């Protein structure tokens, strides 16, 4: 049974790849079997964060930035990368609590995501952390991010189709 299930999954993945205009293959992105082998990062598990932070892009996993970054980002939602993404104070506080509690450094954790970041560095973008740059250097040509089907480094889902479920491809 497991092997036929796997085959079905591969087939589904292959179909999805060939059908999707944003298919990874075109961009030399993570392969379809990423989901079996690749890095997995817990997706946002809070309904409020999921609802409020996924309107304009995927809800980015809390574990991809340190707590100080989330605090700074949440303090500036009215001017969020050139847009007003403001929320009422109670919702803002609730979302901040979740992101901080699940941040890369929550509970003193030494996550690989923090490697290369100084204690005073407060990156507001995941895509500007040394960790993120390491994952993509040499793997993705810089022009791939400007491809109209991608448009932005922040458009993780264009290349990592299962990013919203926490799967980010293989090495």
Residues that bind other proteins (CB under 8 A): 55-58, 78-79, 81-86, 150-152, 154-155, 157-158
Q: Which does 26 bind (CB under 5 to 8 A by kind): other proteins, ligand HEC, none?
A: none
- If binding means CB under 6 A, how many residues of this protein chain bind ligand HEC? 43
Q: Which does 168 bind (CB under 5 to 8 A by kind): other proteins, ligand HEC, none?
A: ligand HEC
Restricting to residues 19-58, name those near ligand HEC by CB under 6 A.
27-30, 34, 38-39, 52-53, 55-57
Q: Which does 63 bind (CB under 5 to 8 A by kind): other proteins, ligand HEC, none?
A: none
Burial code (b: 16+ CB inside 10 Å, e: under 16) for 128-152 equals ebbbbeebbeeebeeebbeeeebee
Burial code (b: 16+ CB inside 10 Å, e: under 16) for 5-15 equals eeeeeeeebee
Q: How far is the CB of 23 from other proteins (least distance, A)?
A: 15
Question: In angstroms, rounded to a whole number, what is the distance separating the alpha carbons of residues 122 and 130?
Answer: 12
- Check: CB of residue 96 under 8 Å from CB of residue 70: yes
Name the residue nearer to ligand HEC (CB basis): 114 or 144: 144
Percent of residues in the chain assigned helix, strand, coil, to nearest 5: 50, 0, 45
Q: Which does 16 bind (CB under 5 to 8 A by kind): other proteins, ligand HEC, none?
A: none
Question: In angstroms, rounded to a whole number, what is the distance separating the alpha carbons of residues 40 and 165?
Answer: 9
- Binding to ligand HEC by CB under 6 A, coded x per residue (else -) over 103-132, reads ----------------------xxx-----
User: Of 164, 118, 125, which Cα lies nearest the Cα of 145?
Assistant: 125
């Amino acid at each position: 049974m497991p092997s036929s299930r796997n085959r079905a999954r591969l087939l589904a993945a292959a179909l999805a790849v060939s059908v999707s205009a944003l298919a990874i293959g075109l961009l030399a992105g993570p392969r379809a079997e990423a989901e079996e082998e690749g890095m997995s990062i817990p997706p946002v598990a809070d309904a409020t964060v999921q609802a409020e932070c996924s309107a304009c892009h995927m809800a980015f996993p809390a574990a991809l930035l340190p707590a100080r970054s989330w605090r700074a980002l949440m303090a500036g939602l009215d001017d969020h990368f050139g847009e007003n993404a403001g929320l009422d104070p109670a919702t803002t506080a609730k979302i901040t609590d979740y992101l901080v509690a699940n941040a890369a450094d929550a509970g003193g954790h030494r996550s690989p995501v923090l490697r290369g970041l100084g204690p005073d560095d407060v990156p507001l973008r995941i895509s500007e952390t040394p960790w993120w740059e390491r994952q993509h250097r040499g793997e993705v040509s810089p022009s791939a991010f400007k491809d109209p089907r991608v448009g932005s480094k922040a458009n993780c889902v264009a290349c990592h189709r299962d990013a919203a479920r926490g799967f980010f491809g293989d090495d």
